[in-house]
């Protein structure tokens, strides 16, 4: 292949008719010196392939059209925070905010503030600068219900028809003092890689804006924002003092394994997700890791994972669309910062093309030993919001 950058046909012809210059004697030739590039070790421990399972595992559904040729290393979407909303469901509409429901109330409010043209979308001069992308994801984890909302949804008829005063931390206009008034209960969400759980998030506009200011906005702005005024910078910065408004917010000390099972978005994940869910729960229990199924307790707890006799805990959940359905199964493994002896503590590792035959290896090598399996690796994120690349 020839690339003609300058001149036309005459210039080419003239060049071809010139007498070629003789090569210099061998003793006078010069060669480029060899440059030895220093070896850069990967940012995390790595093994090339997933170990062969040592025990029986479930079979993958037949006939799934899984793409197996493309290099998936680096295929995760860029994000600074994943808001994992607890819905207690195992599937959702194709677009998780398209149906009016309890599940979608928080998503709709968050999209209004965080997506393009939203008040808290990143602004750099006149251009949108997505330096703090937020990923909104539904999960099958059950939400935490406050006593107020348990009373509201009780099947028992009220003993007294008089209005009863209730707490309303977000000043939700849908919550009134009348027990017979339909209400939208507050949402619950895991925040990753912040590794925080917020059990009660009222879904009215004002409360959701407070939630964004308290937990979601960046603690530090990108250098591109240096051109903004102090007032503009303050709008985009997190205000952690507001976290006190959300009672029960706590650090996450359990392992989280998230599996895309969004069947209404793509049938491959819809079929593979439940199989992987059951396989992960079985293999975690084989390693004496306790499974958590109840809603998280809405209280702060300090967990010392280094104490003798400590039993690790884990949650395995199905989640909505995260991209890359053609690489089903898609799995995210979050190891909490409290697992100080694990090299992946405080990080999230994304895997694709995961089948039941890989689950034992992921539990043994990634969850317990802190090693990334390169053949399945889509990417990762650490506590500083830096992308993990291999």
| pLDDT more than 90, % of the chain | 62
Residue 364 has pLDDT above 50, yes or no: yes
CB burial of 216-250 (b: ≥16 within 10 Å; e: otherwise) equals bbbeebeeebeebeeeeeeebebeeeebebbebbb
CB-CB contact of 368 with 227 (8 Å): no
Total tally of structural domains belonging to the chain: 1
Residue 319 has pLDDT above 80, yes or no: yes
Reduce the DSSP state of residue 125 to 3 states and report it. coil
In a domain, 15, yes or no: no
In a domain, 370, yes or no: yes
H-assigned helices in 7-140:
9-17, 102-114
In a domain, 33, yes or no: no
| pLDDT more than 70, % of the chain | 77
In a domain, 27, yes or no: no
Report the pLDDT value the prediction gives residue 81, as an integer from 0 to 100.
Answer: 96
Average pLDDT of the residues of the chain: 82
Compare 254 and 18 and report the one with higher pLDDT: 254
**Parent domain of 262:** 46-144+184-388
In a domain, 315, yes or no: yes
In a domain, 175, yes or no: no
- Give the bridge partners for 291, in sequence order: 314
Report the pLDDT value the prediction gives residue 27, as an integer from 0 to 100.
Answer: 52
Reduce the DSSP state of residue 198 to 3 states and report it. strand
Could you report the per-residue pLDDT of 106-124, keeping only the tens digit for each?
A: 999 999 998 877 888 754 4
In a domain, 150, yes or no: no
For residue 279, the surrounding DSSP H or E stretch is helix 267-286
DSSP per-residue codes, 289-309: PEE--SPPPSS-----TTSTT
């Amino acid at each position: 292949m020839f690339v003609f950058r300058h001149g036309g046909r005459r210039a080419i012809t003239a060049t071809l008719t010139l007498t070629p210059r003789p090569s210099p004697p061998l003793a006078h030739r010069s060669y480029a010196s060899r440059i030895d590039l220093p070896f850069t070790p990967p940012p995390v421990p790595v093994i090339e392939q997933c170990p062969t399972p040592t025990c029986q595992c479930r079979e993958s559904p037949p006939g799934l059209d899984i793409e197996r040729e493309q290099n998936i290393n680096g295929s995760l979407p860029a994000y600074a925070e994943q808001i994992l909303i607890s819905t207690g469901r195992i599937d959702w509409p194709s677009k998780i905010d398209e149906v009016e429901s309890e599940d979608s109330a928080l998503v709709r409010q968050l999209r209004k503030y965080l997506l393009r043209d939203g008040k808290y979308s990143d602004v750099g001069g006149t251009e949108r600068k997505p330096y703090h992308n937020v990923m909104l994801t539904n999960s099958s984890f059950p939400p935490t219900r406050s006593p107020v909302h348990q009373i509201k949804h009780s099947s028992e008829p009220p003993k007294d028809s008089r209005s009863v005063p209730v707490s309303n931390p977000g000043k939700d206009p849908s919550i009134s003092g009348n027990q017979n008034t339909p209400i939208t209960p507050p949402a619950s969400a895991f925040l990753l890689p912040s590794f925080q759980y917020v059990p009660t998030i009222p879904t009215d506009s004002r409360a959701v804006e407070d939630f964004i200011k308290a937990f979601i906005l960046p603690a530090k702005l990108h250098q591109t924002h240096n051109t903004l005024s102090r007032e503009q910078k303050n709008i985009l910065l997190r205000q952690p003092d507001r976290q006190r408004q959300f009672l029960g917010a706590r650090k996450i000390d359990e392992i989280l394994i998230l599996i895309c099972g969004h069947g209404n978005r793509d049938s491959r994940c819809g079929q593979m997700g439940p199989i992987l869910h059951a396989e992960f729960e079985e293999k975690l229990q084989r390693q004496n890791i306790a499974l958590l199924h109840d809603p998280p307790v809405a209280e702060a707890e300090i967990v010392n994972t280094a104490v003798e006799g400590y039993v690790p805990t884990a949650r395995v959940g199905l989640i909505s669309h995260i991209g890359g359905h053609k690489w089903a199964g898609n799995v995210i493994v979050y190891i909490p910062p409290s697992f100080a002896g694990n090299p992946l503590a405080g990080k999230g590792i994304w895997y694709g093309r995961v089948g039941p035959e890989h689950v034992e290896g992921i539990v043994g090598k990634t969850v317990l030993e802190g090693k990334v399996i390169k053949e399945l690796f889509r990417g990762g994120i650490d506590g500083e919001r830096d992308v993990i690349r291999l």
